[in-house]
Each structure stands twice: as C-alpha cells, then as structure tokens.
C-alpha cells in the first residue's frame, strides 16, 4: 500500500513537471506579444513600480508577454513633439497596451496613449491597483456592469479588459502575514498582481483573435488597413 501511494505521488509529480515543461517549450517556441506599458513615470515610485510589475508580468506569463516601458525608450530629442511622436511610433509597433490608471486624477499622457491604442484597435488591459474613488464613479446597479473610478469617457471601448482592484491592500497584507523579508514581500505581492494582469491579457488577446469585424469592414469597402493607419497619423500631426 505504501509503495502504491509513493508511486501515485511520483506519477503526479512527473505529470506536473511535464506540463510545466510543455508550457515552457511552447512559450520559447513562439514569439512574445509586445506590450506598451503606459503609466506615470515622474517619480521614484512610478519608475521603480513600473519596472517591477513589467518584469513580473513577463515572468508569470513564462515570457509570453514582453513589456516595453516608455521610461526606458531612448529620448532622441528635447522637443516635446518629437518625444510624443516617438512614443506613438513605438506604441504603433506593439501588439497591445497595458494602461495604468492609478491616481484620483489619471496621468494625461497615459490617457492619450490609451486612446491612440484604441484608435489603432490594439488589445488593451486597463489596470488600476489604486482603490480610491474618483472620476464619475457611477454605480450602474447591474451585477454584470460597473462604474469605474475615472471619467466615463474612458470606458466601454472594444478589445479592452479592465482590472480595477478594490482589494490591493488586502492582497498586500495577505503576503505580509507570510513573508518578513522585504524582497520576498515585493516579489510575492507583485507576482500576485501580475498574475491577475496576465489573466486579463490572455482573455483580451483570445477575444481579439476571434474578432474579424474590422477585416470584414475593410474588405467590404475595399479599404487597405495601411491607408487607415497612415490617415490617422496625418490627423494627429505625425
């Protein structure tokens, strides 16, 4: 009986290792989705927090997602328009966007980048770890709908998943109750948040792969996608 139990546990362990290996090989064999990580970058907390969360997202996703941080992009000029255009051009190259909507007032640059991504039909995850209220904060009253703590004009866009956490502090204290080392607390806490973000990324990219509305529209109207993108760049002064 003991031998049977031992064999059963060994078999389960082998299965777990095999599944992990399969996922790792699959991730290594496919190119990572590139994500423009839009968020505030004007303080120590912003800069460090962005890097830590971006690294955790890549780690938790087994490198299926790679975050590109604007703060790490080379600034080729001090001219505000050139800086803006350079960020937009990098965003245009990405597969999708993560937009950090923290703060009682959202970072205006992040909002501009999010809207640019939406007009490009980029898959997006709006992430908010800030539990404070703000914006219009409308309570719809329906169990499957929710008003978010930012201006209502930034909600209800297609190809967009929203992760707005009310339990950030609770998650932090759950980690604090099991960890005492600062580095372990930061890593475990951030990995928990990153896992939630990755779940939304998986969902929005899966939905995007099944959505052919734009392709059908372009085909029916004999319009080239490249022409639409070029026109949009002209309209925003690129």
Q: Report the b/e string of 19-30 with b at 16+ CB within 10 A.
A: eeeeeeeeeeee
CA distances to 11, 20, 32, 134 from 25, rounded to whole Å, are: 21, 9, 13, 43
d(CA 99, CA 39): 6
Tell me what pLDDT residue 137 has.
58
Tell me what pLDDT residue 76 has.
77
- Higher-pLDDT residue of 19, 232: 232
Most confident of 12-16, 54-58, 84-88, 149-153: 54-58
The burial of 95, by beta-carbon neighbours within 10 Å (0-12 exposed, 13-18 middle, 19 or more buried), is given as middle
pLDDT tens digits for 53-102? 999 999 999 999 999 999 998 777 889 999 999 999 999 999 999 999 99
At residue 131's C-alpha, the angle toward residues 136 and 37, to 5°, is 90
**Domain definitions of the chain by residue range:** 27-235
- Going by their DSSP bridges, the two strands 65-68 and 160-164 should be labelled as unpaired
- Higher-pLDDT residue of 124, 133: 124
Q: Give 128's strand partners.
A: 164
**CB of 147 within 8 A of CB of 164?**
no
Under the banding of pLDDT at 50, 70 and 90, the label for residue 143 is very low
**CB of 32 within 8 A of CB of 66?**
yes
- Going by their DSSP bridges, the two strands 65-68 and 96-100 should be labelled as unpaired
pTM of the model: 0.82
- The mean pLDDT value for 117-136 works out to 90
Tell me what pLDDT residue 162 has.
95
Q: 27-235 — its CATH code?
A: 3.40.50.450
């Amino acid at each position: 009986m003991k031998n049977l139990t031992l064999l059963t546990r060994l078999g389960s362990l082998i299965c777990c290792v095999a599944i992990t290996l399969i996922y790792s090989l699959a991730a290594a064999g496919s190119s990572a989705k590139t994500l423009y990580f839009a968020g505030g970058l004007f303080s120590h907390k912003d800069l460090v927090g962005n890097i830590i969360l971006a690294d955790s997202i890549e780690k938790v996703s087994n490198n299926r997602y790679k975050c590109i941080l604007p703060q790490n992009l080379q600034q080729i000029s001090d001219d505000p328009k050139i800086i803006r255009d350079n960020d937009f051009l990098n965003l245009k190259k990405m597969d999708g966007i993560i937009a950090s909507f923290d703060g009682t007032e959202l970072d205006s640059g992040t909002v501009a980048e999010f809207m640019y991504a939406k007009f490009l039909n980029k898959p997006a995850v709006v992430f908010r770890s800030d539990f404070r209220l703000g914006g219009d904060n409308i309570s719809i009253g329906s169990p499957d709908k929710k008003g978010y703590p930012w201006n209502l004009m930034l909600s209800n866009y297609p190809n967009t998943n929203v992760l707005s956490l009310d339990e950030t502090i609770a998650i932090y204290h759950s980690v604090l109750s099991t960890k005492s080392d600062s580095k372990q607390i930061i890593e475990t806490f951030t990995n928990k948040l990153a896992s939630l973000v990755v779940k939304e990324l998986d969902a929005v990219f899966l939905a995007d792969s099944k959505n052919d509305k734009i392709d059908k529209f372009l085909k029916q109207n004999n319009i080239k996608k490249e022409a639409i993108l070029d026109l949009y760049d002209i309209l925003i002064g690129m």
